[in-house]
Amino acid sequence: MSLTVLSDEQIRGMLESLNGDEAQEFIQTLRNALHEYSTGTQSIKDGVVHQPERTSVHSNTAGTTTLFMPSFSSLGHAIKVVTLSSPSPDPKLPSISPTGSLTLYSPEGPPIGFLHAQTLTAFRTALASSCLLIKRATVRTLTVFGSGLQAYWHIRLALMLRGDTIRQVYIINRKFSEAARGTFKKIHGIPLEIKQREGWDEAQFSLLTPAYGEYERLQKEHIRAADVIYCCTPSTDALFDASILTSHEGRKKGRLIVAVGSYTPDMRELPKELLLQATRTHSSGHLHYHKHAIEGGVIVVDTLDGALKEAGEIIDAGLQPRQLVELGELVMIHRLAKEETESLASQSSTDGSSVSESLDKLDIASSGSAMSSVFGSDSASGSGTKRSSSRSPSRRGSSSTLPIPLPPPFHRRSSSKGGTDDQGHKQSAHDHHLSRWLTVGNVIYKSVGLGLMDLVVGFEVVRLAKERGLGSHIEGFSS
């Protein structure tokens, strides 16, 4: 069996050259894996998917943190080791950009891939975020906090997947750093034919730093103008004041807000008040007197257990498992009616009132939870496989009070009976409501990283490298 070795330069060149269809294939493969991970269609006992907790070690001498992220699936297993600057390092020490390696193994154990992890990590994180991006009805303006690799790949994939509608990209950074200079250089260096093919050859890019005299005013304008906000910084404080988005004016339009830069309990990018507003529930008799974009009542996370233990924003806001939903439980929603999406996309991105008015009529906050079978409550039909308690102990008994009736169309258990026509109609209505929220509502996604993403994307990268004849291939490495 051969071992494929790929450098960061080789991986970066290959991913930069993806076309829209190839990027969609990566997304489809990743969301299939996240779907299996989150919805109970697998178990440790069956040996299909297993995601152990990551471990870390800290070096005071180097001012670094090294993360060890194992994962296991039907494809094989993997271990990623990444070193980066600690959250609060000695300022006298040099900054360390995330770097390391990913080793892939076949199900039987022999190693089959050794990949540089720097670009791969940023790409797979942005790829997961893009599972939500591609559902949005309007993506004209991006506002991005940070200018490193995570920021670059979130921008790059957005342009690759939704470039035909993107007209403005605002980058907000604490200073005009070498990383910011490098990001602008890479974007500018993309060949014109690719920009034209992806549809963003006339898009405008700008950088805002606190050194600018009108920073506060422009930051507020950039945030409010955004259809999508990406937060890609290892910050220990909220990146903006909550009132920018929690005020009446800030709530007029729906946005996708993604936070991927912070990954420890002491780090945070989003203000607590923003998360509390997004998860606030109303009584059944509550009436909306203001035309606000719809709130789903939950925060989307990549891993429930990881977010509860490592996401500073989630911990600071005191959110409970019932207020979180994993990305894998949402990514397989396909009932976004084409005519509805086209209708919504035709509206102005600033016309939040008309969109919100129609959304306020939706019965999103109806009583009861349709996530019971996902969380494995006793009310779920059938006796299919539940996620092992060693995987998600925080899930048990948490489903009865979910504020949004998220539907479980994903995992049709083999032991389940067919539903009635009435159940089918209710399911369809719930799918419609959920689709509307994901398409035009306020959606907040918090990611702390998941080793399964590395495994799935790593195997896809190795497959593509072999097809294109890239990398070094050591024959007979495991004979």
Alpha carbon 233 to its chain centroid, in Å, reads 15
d(CA 330, CA 318): 23
Residue-wise pLDDT tens digits, 399-413? 333 344 444 333 332
Alpha carbon 226 to its chain centroid, in Å, reads 17
Sheet of 99-105: strand order equals: 55-59, 64-73, 76-85, 99-105, 111-116, 3-6, 472-474
Residue-wise pLDDT tens digits, 34-55? 998 887 654 445 556 778 888 9
pLDDT of residue 297: 86
Q: For residue 467, count other CB atoms closer than 10 A to its CB.
A: 9
> Is residue 39 within 8 Å of 19, Cβ to Cβ?
no
pLDDT of residue 421: 64
Q: Which residues of the chain have pLDDT under 70?
A: 40-48, 282-290, 332-431
pLDDT of residue 290: 55
> Is residue 404 within 8 Å of 323, Cβ to Cβ?
no
User: Taking the model in full, what pTM does it have?
Assistant: 0.81
Measuring CA to CA, which residue among 461, 447, 453, 451 is closest to residue 71?
451
Measuring CA to CA, which residue among 326, 314, 322, 324 is closest to residue 264?
314
Structure-block tokens of residue 477: 């490495």
pLDDT of residue 188: 95
Sheet of 299-301: strand order equals: 204-208, 168-172, 141-145, 228-231, 256-259, 443-446, 299-301, 324-326
